[in-house]
Copies of this chain bind each other. A is one copy, B any other.
Amino acid sequence: MTYCLGMLLEAGLVMMADTRTNAGVDNISSYKKLHILESSEAMCVIACTAGNLSVSQLAFNYLAEGLPEIEEGAGRRRIAGMANMHRVAGLVGEAIHCAREEIKEATGENQYDFTASMLVGGRFAGRPLRLFHIYSVGNFISCQPDRPFLQIGETKYGRPILDRAARWEMALDDAVKTGLLSFDSTMRSNLGVGRPIDLAVLPADEGQPMLTRRIEEEDAYFDELSRLWAKALAEVRKGIPMPPFMAGVGGAQAAG
């Protein structure tokens, strides 16, 4: 399993991915799922992957080699040659689509579901930050301020905290904290999602550098965040009044 989260905010772009892969519970491994595809003065492109690893790795290979030229002499198509982030998303979608078709054809398998999806975020110099969800057949959607986050993989356990807290206007540190809380909930409920967590933060202010960080298996801040959150949730739950209609039921001490 996998959990990847992208947040596109007024203050910048946050992308996070866990590193756990599993093919059954007896075959658990660790693979990097957050990849810096381009990082130059001209552009910065980050991708997070979920789904079939052979598909996403082959897609990255296509992107590195360049996709077939459209007309003779135009040259193979790579991310660095695209005109904008929207075109980058389209190229990544095409790479995923081609990878999937190649694997299906090569293996002759129809029963396996060779699907992979990606979050692709980044910026061309002087242009706004963008974030896309690329589906396994190659189409994609763009993240919008009304709901400033996108998720792939094991998305549901960690979504309530995002629905409550993720806002276009939030600061980057608050966004990273909120994202880590979302990962914490996910990791509690699904063993297929686990640390290390890879993180990339691209501030909207182009004068500031990209921050990348790996939250390791042992990370004092994450451990403390997880502990404080669990403790506070228990206290908050305790502080909410008992249902008045339960007064006296089963020896309950409820009082309206």
Contact = CB atoms under 8 A, between A and B. Distances in A.
Interface string A147-169: 00000000011011101110000
A224 interface: yes
A213 interface: yes
Given A240-B225, A254-B173, A201 B249 contact: yes
Contacts of A36: none
A222 to B, nearest CB: 9
The contact size tier of chain A is 35 or more
A205 B230 CA distance: 32
A230 B230 CA distance: 16
Interface residues of A, dominant DSSP: helix
A112 interface: no
Contact of A237 (B181, B204, B208, B254): B181
A229 B221 contact: no
A249 B165 contact: no
A243 B9 CA distance: 17
Nearest to A230: B164
Interface string A210-252: 0101000000010011001110111011011111111101111
Interface in A162-189: 163-165, 171-174, 176-178, 180-181, 185, 188-189
Chain B CB within 10 A, most for which of A204, A225, A240, A244: A240
Contact of A211 (B11, B204, B249): B249
B252 A224 contact: no
A198 B254 CA distance: 19
B239 A232 contact: yes
Contacts of A160: 157, 160, 185, 188-189
Given A157-B160, A160-B157, A160-B185, A204 B171 contact: no
Nearest to A178: B237
B240 A208 contact: no
A253 interface: yes
A36 B34 CA distance: 50
A67 to B, nearest CB: 34
B230 A243 contact: no
